[in-house]
Amino acid sequence: MDVLVPLPVVIPLLTAAGLTATGHFLGRRADDLAGIAAAAATTVISTLLVLRSLDHDLVYWFGGWTPRHGIALGVAFDVDPLSAVLAALAGALVTASFVFAWRYFDEVGTLFHVLMLVFLAAMTGFVLSGDIFNMFVFFELMSVCVFGLVGYAIEHRAPLQGAINFAVTNTVGALLLLFGIALVYGRTGALNLVQIGSVLQGSRPDGLLVVAFGLLLAGFLVKAGAVPFHFWLSDAYAVAPIPVCVVLSGVMSDLGLHAVGRIYWPAFSGVFSANADGLRGVLVGAGVLTALLGGTMAFFQRDLKRLLAFVTIGHVGIFLAGVGLLTARGLAGTTLYVLADGFLKGGLFLAVGILVRRAQDGDELRLRGRGRRAPMAGLAFLLGGLGLAGLPPFGTFVGSALIIRSAGDVGYDWLPPLLTAASILTAGTVLRAGARIFLGWGDADDPSLSHEPRAADEEPEKVPGRVSPPLLFGPALALIVVGLGLAFTPGLAGRATQWAQRFENRPAHAAEVLRGVVPPAASAPAFHPGAAPYVYGAISTVGAVAFALFGLYRRRLPTLLQRGPGRLAAGPAARLKALHSGIVGDYVAWVTFGATALTGLLALTLR
Amino acid sequence: MTRQTRIGLFAVSAAGLAALLLWAVAGLPDFGHYRGPYGKVLNSVAVGERHATNVVAAVTFDYRGFDTLGEEFILFASVMGVALLLRHERGERERLTTRIHSDAVRLGGAGFAAGLLALGLYVVAHGYLTPGGGFQGGVVLASAFALVYLAGDYRSYRALAPIPAIDFAEGAGAGGYAVVGVVSLLLGSAFLHNFGPLGTTGTLASAGSIPFLNIASALEVSAAFLLLFTEFLEELAVTPGDG
Amino acid sequence: MIPLQAAIMGLVAAGALAVVLTRDLVRLTMASSFYALLLVVLFLVFQAPDVALSELVVGAVGFPLVIVVAIVLQRGG
Amino acid sequence: MSYLPYALAVWIFAVGLYGVVTSRNLIHLVVSLTVAQSSTYVLLLSIGYVNRGTAPIFADVPKGTRAVDPVVQALTLTDVVVSVTVASLLLALALQAQKRTGKTDPDEVAAMHG
């Protein structure tokens, strides 16, 4: 067993515990330094795990409890490159946010660093675990850390609302998840994902299995923020301190979707293989709905953090559609997309953070033209927006190319145009905000945008002493550059597809985890994107720029154009906005509705 | 969404969800006829392999000890979160009320607290033999301290349980659990591999490194609940100030 | 299934409803402690003494203590 | 009859959620959430129950006695901890909400929307 496997969880946990035990006795900067060191070490080790698992999974049995006669006695980590790379993403984002947050949280001593480190360990544990209950434990650990971090600005009302809504909906999501786990355990007597798959070999999808899978999905989709489980997300991300948003938006949401793939392939793909079409339809449908809703709602925001929160929801939809294609290519494409997108959104949030620090404001309209003094943040906005649009061959392009091709493979030719429309909405909105703030373009007022409390109030009060600009701009630009540049890794698309195919080959995966049979190394299939992804990428980029201009100068369009479609859109838009009421009881009702609808649809299509 | 709409949406959804759940549980084995292999195997091998008579403790601290590491840190993180959320702003001043209680109340409370303390220690110590263990015992221990508050006053409570000391115990407990795992790594085996001598079944000196994990979690849990009680009780002693 | 199990399950079912329907906070604390005690009995009947002990210390002692403080504060005490 | 314990879990879950959705007080909401959470304890423990089985503790009984499933009990122990931690965090949030806004009704705490 590879000794590195437990470290991405153990290092941050031990550092957090150590900081708590000694925090009262150490110097002021110890928490910053220890946090950065631990998060960087986690990133490096997770990257090493990617490199070590290129040919076969690294299976690690905690306590040394290797399975006996195919029965897992303990808890296993099952490391493959697609999972390890997300652990590395989490580590990198936490590192960047620690650098950005240098001296940001002096007021609360070590608490911020401790919670962020435990949060990091929870994310790496969640993504690497091969045991369904262990995933639940880390799911809860993520939630518990975030409750405190989101509510950081206790003196204001909105953060408390955001934290309460987050806590209650995610707890209900965790309950659905645990119900599903209990049902699966009752049927199979197993908690290891691969062993569950082996026991279920040859089973028909009966009521228990369909509902259990539906509940597990619902639980993970609450965390991911898919429609109609997404309401908490915009409230929470809009109020969390920027360094926390970077990680929430950059990686945590996407982990819920990764988990969908991680439970489907080893445990359930055999049961549902005959009805995969129905499941695909449900997941992709939910994904498209989420993508379009997120993009539309993002357009109506003027608070930058809330705007980026809805951008996050829009992209969660794209990823759900990608994972939901239930192909190796779709899974590979989604992971690469998540990776590039995570870095870009992280960079964008940090750019917003720079604005908030400089101008004490995070409102697009009030900041109009005031960003000229922070050209680096403007550069981050421009590059980030173009990267989100999937400008070929940068950033998210490789991932979206794989998803587009995969959609064609399963006959979903209608999917790429819809996903392109969603990324036009999200990227166009980001570019609109960037152009208004940094170039002073567009109108000074736009009554159709939601008015929110000042975001600046939710950040810590003025930081004592000057923070040198590189500490602010450095992390933002570094994240953007990495996000754009990842696409140039040679042979990335082909290799990622090969890694995803290891998920698909359930018998080989089972033999590897439960009996230690190392499969022969496979060669990576070459991936030639063909012309279509470039066309979609070009349409998306041009469309995003055009949509940004539309957002800026909409009110200068000829009155005729404004009146007709504008009138038509106003009613539904107002109703859509009204649904995001900010009231926790509504949200829990929606979660209940979503769980019922999702499970019910699965029951209709899978049986 | 009005309240009526919300309740209507919920009623319809919950009825549907309940129906689906009932459909699902009908597929479970009949109550009392569970045959799952996992628990059965553990029941038959755990006592022999681990010399711990409480198989639940063997599962929590050994076979699935890694879950418990996560659980320790859930508690740890939540207490840190509560400390973050209930931190006091500048301008809030402490209202140091000294409650007047009769000596009888104090004496009785102290006696009761001492009894709870002994009970907590017993529950902790015998966790891997009989029901109980670090978690349950830890909560009892913390309750014993909280009783000092109820019987006495906030000041003597704070003197008994100063925050830096509890923080230290909290970090040491949670970290200690992970350190036991790291010791296994340093010994060349898997993280959290049970390395101690297994000893004689049914005595306190049995079950290898389980007792260490048990003590670490007792420390963590009692510190965590103590901090939790302190944070909430402190709210009682503080009034919002002018600034 | 034995009658004892059926009886305690019935009580737990009623207890859960009672807790949720109690809107007065002081009564709510008592109801939730009582519900926790019912769960303790149910867990003992289900042969889960470890869980019963946990539920006892948490549900019937630790958690109510915190709730009482919260209620005192909410009432402006 | 043999599914009654499972049905009980479903009942508690639904009742707890009803409390959360209709709650007019944050403390009541938190307690309702713990009630909903208790449904998973009941479900897990009843799944692992074995007729005429003893507790999985072999201190005073001969080895090999028929016992109930120990794994679900370990899972439930974790679940109990999760429940109390979430509840205390939410109570802390409720306290702050009341302190800062004077509001105790979850419907009135909301500040942002749309």
Share of chain B above pLDDT 90, in %: 21
Residue B242 banded pLDDT, cuts 50, 70, 90: very low
pLDDT at B135: 85
Residue A49 banded pLDDT, cuts 50, 70, 90: very high
Whether residue A203 is found in the same domain as residue A258: yes
Q: What is the residue extent of each domain of chain C?
A: 3-74
Instruction: Compute the distance between CA of residue A490 and CA of residue A58 in angstroms, rounded to an integer.
Output: 24
Instruction: Compute the distance between CA of residue D44 and CA of residue A508 in angstroms, rounded to an integer.
Output: 31
pLDDT at C52: 92
Kindly report which listed range (A127-131, A171-175, D7-11, D52-56) carries the lowest average pLDDT score: D52-56
A335 lies in some domain: yes
Q: How many domains does chain B have?
A: 1
Question: For A191-210, how does the pLDDT look when each residue is reduced to its tens digit (9 = 90+)?
Answer: 999 999 999 988 889 999 99
Whether residue A115 is found in the same domain as residue A142: no
Share of chain A above pLDDT 70, in %: 95
Instruction: Compute the distance between CA of residue A138 and CA of residue A133 in angstroms, rounded to an integer.
Output: 9
Instruction: Compute the distance between CA of residue A357 and CA of residue A359 in angstroms, rounded to an integer.
Output: 6
Residue C77 banded pLDDT, cuts 50, 70, 90: very low
Amino acid at position A467, single letter = V
pLDDT at A106: 66
Cα distances from A284 to residues A297, A532, A595, in angstroms, run: 20, 20, 16
Q: Are D31 and D63 in contact (CB under 8 A)?
A: no
The CB-based long-range contact list for A414-421 (8 Å cut-off, 24+ gap) reads A415/A284, A415/A288, A415/A321, A415/A325, A416/A532, A416/A536, A417/A536, A418/A288, A418/A291, A418/A292, A419/A288, A419/A291, A419/A318, A419/A321, A420/A536, A420/A539, A420/A540, A420/A543, A421/A292, A421/A295, A421/A543
* Facing A580 at nearest CB: one of D43, D101, D114: D114
In this prediction the ipTM stands at: 0.94
* Facing C49 at nearest CB: one of B131, B135, B232: B131
Please report residues of B whose CB lies closer than 8 A to that of A22. Answer: 168, 171
- Asked if pLDDT for residue A72 goes beyond 70, the answer is yes
A484 lies in some domain: yes
Do B and C touch (≥3 CB pairs < 8 Å)?
yes
Please report residues of B whose CB lies closer than 8 A to that of D32. Answer: none
The whole-number average pLDDT for the span A26-44 is 89
Global confidence as pTM: 0.95
pLDDT at A196: 95
D contact test, residue of A160, A169, A576 with most D CBs within 10 A: A160
D12 lies in some domain: yes
Residue A176 banded pLDDT, cuts 50, 70, 90: very high
Which of A105, A130, A155 is the C-terminal boundary of a domain?
A130
Share of chain A above pLDDT 90, in %: 63
B184 lies in some domain: yes
Which of A85, A108, A130 is the C-terminal boundary of a domain?
A130
CATH of the domain at D93: 1.10.287.3510
* Facing D73 at nearest CB: one of C19, C20, C51: C51
Residue B241 banded pLDDT, cuts 50, 70, 90: very low
Q: Are A399 and A318 in contact (CB under 8 A)?
A: no
D residues 68-107 near C, CB within 8 Å? 68, 73, 76-77, 80-81, 83-84, 87-88, 91, 94-95, 98-99, 104
Amino acid at position A378, single letter = G
B144 lies in some domain: yes
- Asked if pLDDT for residue A274 goes beyond 70, the answer is yes
Do A and C touch (≥3 CB pairs < 8 Å)?
no
Retrieve residue A182's tokens.
């209990």
* Facing A182 at nearest CB: one of D43, D106, D113: D43
pLDDT at D52: 84
Whether residue A126 is found in the same domain as residue A216: no
More confident residue, D2 or A384: A384
- Asked if pLDDT for residue B100 goes beyond 60, the answer is no
CB atoms D59 and B135 under 8 Å = no
Residue D109 banded pLDDT, cuts 50, 70, 90: confident
The whole-number average pLDDT for the span A89-116 is 86
Instruction: Compute the distance between CA of residue B32 and CA of residue B10 in angstroms, rounded to an integer.
Output: 33
Whether residue A343 is found in the same domain as residue A390: yes
Residue B204 banded pLDDT, cuts 50, 70, 90: low
* Facing B18 at nearest CB: one of D10, D49, D75: D10
The whole-number average pLDDT for the span A453-476 is 63
Q: How many domains does chain A have?
A: 2
Look at phi and psi of residue B103 and say left if phi exceeds 0, alpha if psi is from -120 to 50, else beta. Answer: alpha
- Asked if pLDDT for residue D1 goes beyond 60, the answer is no
Instruction: State the helix-helix crossing angle for A7-22 and B65-85, rounded to 10 degrees.
Output: 40
Q: Which helix (H) or strand (E) holds A480?
A: helix A469-485
- Asked if pLDDT for residue A238 goes beyond 70, the answer is yes
- Asked if pLDDT for residue A135 goes beyond 70, the answer is yes
Q: Are A170 and A232 in contact (CB under 8 A)?
A: yes
Please report residues of A whose CB lies closer than 8 A to that of B231. Answer: none
Amino acid at position A253, single letter = S
Question: For A386-432, how does the pLDDT look when each residue is reduced to its tens digit (9 = 90+)?
Answer: 999 988 888 889 999 999 999 999 999 999 999 999 999 999 999 99
- Asked if pLDDT for residue A457 goes beyond 70, the answer is no
Tell me the average pLDDT of chain D: 89
Rounded CA Rg of chain B = 23
CB atoms C16 and D38 under 8 Å = yes
CB atoms C47 and D54 under 8 Å = yes
Question: For A307-358, how does the pLDDT look when each residue is reduced to its tens digit (9 = 90+)?
Answer: 999 999 999 999 999 999 999 999 999 999 999 999 999 999 999 988 888 8
Instruction: Compute the distance between CA of residue B143 and CA of residue B118 in angstroms, rounded to an integer.
Output: 12
B16 lies in some domain: no
Cα distances from A538 to residues A144, A390, A533, in angstroms, run: 42, 8, 8
Cα distances from B233 to residues A35, B159, B230, D92, in angstroms, run: 31, 14, 5, 12
Cα distances from A492 to residues A81, A497, A524, in angstroms, run: 12, 9, 9
B150 lies in some domain: yes
Domain containing B146 equals 36-88+95-239
Whether residue A364 is found in the same domain as residue A446: yes
Question: For B29-48, how does the pLDDT look when each residue is reduced to its tens digit (9 = 90+)?
Answer: 999 888 888 988 888 888 87
pLDDT at A124: 97
- Asked if pLDDT for residue D84 goes beyond 80, the answer is yes
pLDDT at C27: 92
CB atoms D40 and A182 under 8 Å = yes
Q: Check whether the bond before A159 is cis (ω within 30° of 0).
A: no
B160 lies in some domain: yes
Tell me the average pLDDT of chain A: 90
More confident residue, B139 or B108: B139
Instruction: Compute the distance between CA of residue D102 and CA of residue A366 in angstroms, rounded to an integer.
Output: 30
Sign of CA dihedral A65, A71, A74, A80: positive
Retrieve residue A260's tokens.
């969908």
The whole-number average pLDDT for the span A367-380 is 86
Domain containing A231 equals 131-264+276-460+467-501+531-606
CB atoms D109 and A578 under 8 Å = no
Q: What angle do CA A322, A324, A326 make, to 5 degrees?
A: 100
pLDDT at A464: 45
Beta carbons within 10 angstroms of residue B220's beta carbon:
29
Segments in A300-327 forming alpha helices (H): 304-324
The whole-number average pLDDT for the span B196-221 is 80
Which of A83, A112, A130 is the C-terminal boundary of a domain?
A130
Q: How many domains does chain D have?
A: 1
Share of chain B above pLDDT 70, in %: 82
Domain containing D21 equals 4-109
pLDDT at B96: 47
CB atoms C54 and B135 under 8 Å = yes
Residue D41 banded pLDDT, cuts 50, 70, 90: very high
- Asked if pLDDT for residue A461 goes beyond 60, the answer is no
